[in-house]
Amino acid sequence: MVMNESGDSVQSPAEALKSLGLTKYEALVYIGLLRVNEATATEVHEISGVPRASVYPVLDRLVQRDIVSVSHTSPRRFCAFPPEDGVKRLMHRIEDQAEYVTGALQEIYTERSEVDRGAQDLIWTIYGTENIMSRLAEALTHAEEEVWILSCWKMIEKSILPMLMEGIERNVRIEIATDRWEGDVPPGLVVRIKKPPKGHDRFGRDAGGGLFLIDQHKVMAIVNAMGEKPTALYSESDGFLKLFMQFWNIIERVEDKKDKYQ
């Protein structure tokens, strides 16, 4: 590790190459070859300091990685590709591997057994705005039929509305109960304006939080009181869903009674 002028530690080139997937010996050999136009295995050993017995296997791996070329002469001579090309090829290799493993893991994730609902009966506690919004975005993105939301306008406007517009484009039915709505209601969105309960101002008018029901299958309850770290409960448990669906039904019944007596 080296230090820059300000005294901060900076990775050496060999350490940086290790972060791109090379071993210590591979990094040393590649850097050694950059110092010369070309070299035999014996010369590479002398330049890089890599043990003689390890040089040939290392060179073969670098050739396979396509950052070192080899001549068909006797003895064989090796040449490093320029740094820009070499690093770019290492990055492409990492990107290809990342794309492959993402697809493979996604298949495992998608094919989770629906028979054992043990995990679905759990109630997960999520802390922090970033983690909560990430889980909520995942749930809303995969909504297929309907989404019910109870939340304050400030949170909807700031964090939720763009996700909802994507759902509307997929013909997902979206209903929202909120304290107010500023501006026009987008087509395809059902909005119910609800007067907040007495005393809610002492918690902060726009303290945030809310209730989200997705496809009558997933529920997230977010608590975001003023001055406190946001917390959310997320579950696919039938009991948890029924509890909050009853809460939503109460809102609808109150709405129906208001319409009846107006």
- pLDDT tens for 177-195 read 888 888 888 888 888 887 7
Say which residue, 216 or 9, is predicted with more confidence.
216
CB-based contact 182:190 (threshold 8 Å): no
Predicted TM-score (pTM) of this structure: 0.53
Quick one: pLDDT at residue 10? 66
Which range, 23-27, 128-132, 169-173, is most confident?
Answer: 23-27
Q: Is residue 191 part of a domain?
A: yes
Asked if residue 205 and residue 156 are part of one domain, the reply reads yes
Mark whether 37 and 152 lie in a shared domain. no
Residues 6 or more apart from 240 whose CB is under 8 A from it? 123, 219, 233
> For residue 40, what is the domain's CATH number?
1.10.10.10
**200 with 151, same domain?**
yes
Query: Could you tell me if residue 118 is inside a domain?
Result: no
State the average pLDDT over residues 3-21: 74
Domain annotation covers residue 82: yes
pLDDT score, position 82: 94
Same domain, 131 and 208: yes
Strand-strand pairing, 173-178 and 189-193: parallel
| Closest by Cα among 153, 154, 124, 128 to 139 | 124
pLDDT the model gives residue 179 = 84
pLDDT band at residue 261, thresholds of 50, 70 and 90?
very low
Neighbours of 44 (CB within 10 A): 28
Residue 32 domain boundaries: 2-101
**In terms of domains, do 96 and 128 share one?**
no
* 251 shares a domain with 143: yes
Query: What CA–CA distance (Å, rounded) separates 148 from 216?
Result: 9
Statement: residue 202 has pLDDT above 60: no
> What is the tally of structural domains in the chain?
2
Q: Could you tell me the sign of the dihedral formed by the alpha carbons of 106, 110, 113, 116, in that order?
A: positive
70: in domain = yes
With respect to residue 110, please indicate whether it lies within any of the assigned structural domains.
Answer: no
Question: 1 pLDDT band (50/70/90 cuts)?
Answer: very low
Length of the chain: 262
**Residue 113 falls inside a structural domain:** no
CA distance 56 to 52: 8
Burial 145-183 (b: 16+ CB within 10 A, else e): eebbbbbbbbbbbebbeebbeebeeeebebbbbbbeeee
Q: CA nearest 41: which of 90, 77, 4?
A: 77
Return the percentage of the chain with pLDDT > 70, whole number: 80
Lowest mean pLDDT among 27-31, 61-65, 237-241: 237-241
- The answer to whether the CB of 29 falls within 8 A of the CB of 55 is yes
> What mean pLDDT do residues 123-143 have?
89
Does residue 92 sit in the same domain as residue 165? no
Q: What is the 3-state secondary structure (H, E, C) of 100-116?
A: HHHHHHHHHHHCCCCCC
Is there a single domain that holds both residue 17 and residue 51?
A: yes
